[in-house]
Amino acid sequence: MSKTFKRFLLAGLVTVSATAAAIDVKPDAPKRYVVEEGDTLWSIAERYADDAWQWPEIWFQNNQIKNPHLIFPGDEIGLVTINGETKATVIKRGMASRTVKLSPGLVKMQPTARIESIESAIPAIPLDAIRGFLRDHRVVQPDELSKAPRVISGSNGHILMGAGETVYARGDFSEAEAAYGVFRQGQVYVDPKNGEVLGAEALDIGLGRVDAVDGDIATMTLDRTNQQVSVGDRLLATEDRELIARYYPKPPSIDVEGQVLAVSGGVTQVGQYDVVVLNRGDRDKLEPGSVLVIEKAGAIVYDRIAGEDVRLPNTRAGTLMVFRTFDKLSYALVMRATSPLRVGDHFVTP
C-alpha cells in the first residue's frame, strides 16, 4: 500500500503522495551510513534506491526523531523493516563534540546533543549550482519587459553605471515602489513544436533604490550591481518570494514530455550540474523536485531488406531535477549524464 508522507519545504508545508507500487531497497544498500558534509539528499537516495526519484517510497519518517524529514551531517541512516518492507530511515541523530577545559594543557572531548537549525540540513542537490537562478533570474512575458520603466541616463550623462551611482529612469512609477530590480532581456524562448512564445529571460543586473519621483522620471541610487547598468535596462518591482532550499526528488504527478531549450552559458553541450531550461512548467504540473529522464533520439539506420530508413528506439541518457518553475518554463539541474547531452534532447517522466 502506498503511504503519504508530509515533508517541509522552506516555502511551507507540502504533502507528497508516493506512487502506488512498492520499491525495493537496493541489495547492496548500506545497513548503516553516517551522513557527511557535502552529501546531498540525491546522493544518499542513490545509495538506497536505483533512482533518486524512488526516495519517497523507501524513506520512513521515524517520528521518534526530531524533524524526521530532514537529514543533517553526522546523522546515522539505517535499514528497518516496516510492515514487511525494508525502509531507510534516520536511526540516530549525530553528536557534536565540544571542548571542555579542565586545566592548563589538559583537554577532554565530551559529546553533547547537537542543536541544528533547519538551514543546516543537507540539501537535495548542490545549491551552489543553482543559487543564482533561485535568487536573480526571472522568466516573464516579453511585453512585460518592453512596458517596464527603463534607464535613460546616469549622473552627468553617463551611459554605464555601477553600484553607488545615481541613475534616472522613465516610466510608470504610480505604484510607488521603494526599490526595483534592474534587468536586461535575455533569450526569448519559443516552443520548438508549435511556435508558442513561452517567455523571455530577464537577466538580473542590479538593484536600485528610488530617491525621488517627478512625473514619469525617477531618480535612483544603485545599491547593488552584478555588471554595469546600461541605458535601456529595464526596471521590475522586487519580488516578495520565499526561496525553496529543500527539495524532495519525486516523479511528476502526471506524464510529462518535452524538450531542453537552452543551457546556462549559452553553449549547446550539456553536462552534469548544468542548469537547463525546459519547455514545460506550472501548467504542465511540474513543480520543484520533479525528476525527469533525458532521452537521446535513436539513430536513423537503413534497412537494406525493406529498402527504407528506420529510427532506432530512444535511449536513456541522463537525469535532471526541476528546481524552479514558471507558467510555461522550468529551470532544472542535470544530475546525471550517461552520454553526451545537447540542447534539443527530449525528456520524459521516469
| pLDDT of res. 248 | 81
Please tell me the distance from the alpha carbon of residue 73 to that of residue 94, in angstroms, as a whole number. 7
In tens, the pLDDT along 173-207 reads 988 788 999 999 989 999 999 999 999 999 999 99
Residue whose cell numbers read 524532495: 248
Q: What is the pTM of this model?
A: 0.74
Residue 5, all three cell numbers:
508522507
| pLDDT of res. 287 | 93
Find the Cα–Cα–Cα–Cα dihedral 280, 285, 288, 292, rounded to 10°. -60
β 291-296/315-325 pair status: antiparallel
Same CATH fold assignment for domains 134-237 and 257-348: yes
Q: Are 218 and 169 in contact (CB under 8 A)?
A: yes
pLDDT in tens, the chain (350 residues): 333 333 333 333 232 333 334 567 888 999 999 999 889 999 999 999 888 888 888 888 888 787 777 888 999 999 988 888 889 999 888 864 333 344 444 444 444 344 444 556 888 888 888 877 777 678 998 899 999 999 999 988 888 889 999 999 999 998 878 899 999 998 999 999 999 999 999 999 999 999 999 999 999 999 999 899 999 999 998 876 555 657 788 899 999 999 999 998 777 788 888 999 999 999 999 999 999 999 987 888 999 999 999 988 888 999 999 999 999 999 999 999 988 888 889 999 98
| pLDDT of res. 61 | 85
| pLDDT of res. 321 | 93
Q: How far is CA 284 from the centre of its chain?
A: 17
Write the secondary structure of 21-48 as one string of H (helix), E (strand) and C (coil): CCCCCCCCCCCEEECCCCCCHHHHHHHH
Q: Please state the domain extents for the chain.
A: 4-95, 134-237, 257-348
Please tell me the distance from the alpha carbon of residue 182 to that of residue 234, in angstroms, as a whole number. 6
Q: If you write DSSP's letter for every residue of 190-223 in order, what string do you get?
A: E-TTT--EEEEEEEEEEEEEEEEEETTEEEEEEE
Topology annotation, domain 134-237: Thrombin, subunit H (2.40.10)
| pLDDT of res. 108 | 42
Topology annotation, domain 257-348: Thrombin, subunit H (2.40.10)
Residue 287, all three cell numbers:
513543480
The HSE-up count of residue 208 (CA atoms within 13 Å, CB side) is 33
